[in-house]
Every structure is written in structure tokens, then in C-alpha cells.
Structure 1
Amino acid sequence: MNRRHFIGLGGNMGDRHALLDAALEEILLAFPYEQVRSSRYETPAWGMELGTPAFLNQVVTIALPETLEPLQVLGTLLAIEQKLGRNRDSNTDGYQSRSIDLDLLVVEGAHMETKALTLPHPRMHLRRFVLEPLAELAPQLELTKGGPTVSELLRSCADRSAVQRLESAL
């Protein structure tokens, strides 16, 4: 059996489109399963100083075997970030600019809370830049059984940041 994994991609440094393309290619190499990709969205730098370059964001879903543990997927995503030039600075408080950011947002039917990973992502309901592309792919997805759908979370999201859709899904 397979279950859908939803991965958020984003970045605001360098050639943002090329970095997202490279990340998607690396994800495909690591997990050779069909990808369904949202459109790309440009958003202001959320939680950062005015004048910080805008982010480019996207969500991809891949149906992976149940035998593949979420922590294994996370480890692969972190390795891809590093390969593409991401330097995670654990001494930095708050948000920072980055070349690429890969977040495991949701694994369908999985709920977990460890030091390394919480599923579903604990703050995505607060972030329009995550909810918009996620709603494009899975508007009726419930993050918790019987809980609100992604569309409902998007409608009630307090984040009113401008989220500009740039292109249709690939």
C-alpha cells in the first residue's frame, strides 16, 4: 500500500525557480514515483524584516510505500537541502533567508510527534503560503480525522499575506 506524502518547497535566495526545479528532480531521483505538483506561488518573506526577498513556494505530493518511514523521508529531504546549498544555522533565532527549504507537511494517515518531526506540520495552518498550494492539490484532505479540511483551514487562516500564483501545475 502507498500513502501520499505532501512536501512543501520554498526559497528566497539565488535563482529560485532553478532551485525548486533542482529540488524536485532530486526528490524524483530519491523517490522514483509519480509526482503531482502545485503551481508556484510568490509570497512576502513571512515573519522576516521588510525588504527581505520574496519567497517562491510550491507543494508536491508523492505516493510512497507505507514501509517507508516518515523519518527516512525527512532525512532524504534534509540531505537534498544540503546538496543544494542550504546551510541550517541552529544558532539563528526565528526565520532566515534560504536557498531551499523542504518540509514534510503531511503523510496521509500518519500522526507523529518526535524531536525531529511532527506530522502533520504543526504550524502550516497558520501559513497561507503553505495552505494555498496544498489546497490546490488536496482541498478535501483532513489533517486530523474528522478535523477541518485544507480548504476550510485556508478560509479561516488569519495570515492575510499576499500569495501570488505564478504558473499552472506542471
Structure 2
Amino acid sequence: MPTLLSHLAVIGLGANLGDARQTLQEALQALQSNVGTADWLVSPLYRTAPIGGDAAQPDYINGVALFQTNLAPEALMLWLLETERHFGRDRSQDIARNSPRTLDLDLLLYDAITMDTPLLVLPHPRLHERAFVLRPLSDIAPDLVIPGQGSVRSLLPTVSDQAIQRLE
């Protein structure tokens, strides 16, 4: 009997090194091939300036994806980390927070679960403060509620001062 894919997960996708757009497209194809996931909704991609870190680094290309999964939160996070490694990211080489990245995959939400472990914090602690998450998420799930914060739709005006450009 097939396993029911009963958990809703939301991931953030970003890159600003190499051909970031191509990397995100290829990473999404790899992620969508996991048999433990289904019903993917993927946002349009957006260009955003780096936040913090070296202001001279290239702009980021960002998006989000929402899907159903039967993977536990920690297993899903480990899978995301392995996918990053496959695309050339070595987190041990990330000198500082917000450093340039070949690929950045963040587990933003998993159902309405809140957790704080050495591997994973849910919901992602800054997702409600970032236009590069809220704007793409509003394209695919504007009424989604971020536990302890409110709906994506209600939070979007709080990041209206952050520059973000939708890519065609």
C-alpha cells in the first residue's frame, strides 16, 4: 500500500554564484524526483540584493516551493543539505552568515510544527522578515499561516521596503 504524503513542507531556494537561475532549476528537478514528495507548487523566481554580508557580492536569485511529503522534518532537512552538497555547496566553507552561495535550501515550514534543535529551527526564524521569501510565497500560498506570525498576505506589507524584482 502506498504511503500517504500527509505533511506540508515549504522550502526556500536561493543562489548567487555561477549560473544561479540554472542551478535553481536543476536543483528543483532533483528535489521533485524524490518519491517521498508530491504535489509541488513552485513560485516564480525573483532577483534580490544580498542582505548583510559583503554588499559587493552578486544579487541572489530566490524562490520558494511548497509540497507534500512523507519525510520527517529532520530527514527532509538532511536531504536538502545533501542536495546542496551535490550542487557544490560546502557549508563548512561558509565563512559568515549571508555569504555567497552556489545553492541555499532552507526548510521554512513543516505543517504548523515549531521546533528548535541543533539541526533545524521551525518555522525558519527570519522567514517573516524577508521579502525574498514572503513575495514568492504570496504567489503560491498567500493565505498560508506562519506559526506565531500570521498569514503570508498579512506579513507582506512589513517587508515592502526590501527591493525585489520578479524574473520573467
8 A Cα contact 1:128 1:163, kept in partner: yes
Length-normalised TM-score, structure 1 = 0.89
Aligned length: 163
Q: Structure 2 stretches of 5 or more lacking a match? A: none
Separation of aligned partners in 2, 1:142 and 1:71:
21
Q: Distance in 2 between matches of 1:75 and 1:53?
A: 27
User: Where does residue 23 of structure 2 map in the other structure?
Assistant: 19
Residues 2-41 of structure 1 mapped to structure 2, 5 A cutoff: 2-30=6-34, 31-41=36-46
Question: Within 5 A, what are the aligned runs for 1:58-77?
Answer: 58-65=63-70, 68-77=71-80
- Residue identity (%): 35
**Alpha-carbon offset, residue 154 of structure 1:** 1.4
Contact 2:48–2:59, Cα closer than 8 Å, also in 1: yes
Paired amino acid for 2:146: L
Q: Does 1:151 align with 2:156?
A: no
Check the 8 A contact 1:3/1:109 in 2, yes or no.
no
1:1-170 matches, cutoff 5 A = 2-30=6-34, 31-65=36-70, 68-89=71-92, 92-144=95-147, 147-157=149-159, 160-167=161-168
Q: 1:89 to 1:160 in 2, by over 3 A?
A: farther
Cα RMSD for the two superposed structures:
1.7
Secondary structure at 1:56 match in 2 = strand
- Whole-Å Cα distance in 2 between the matches of residues 144 and 91 of structure 1? 29
| TM-score normalised to structure 2 length | 0.90
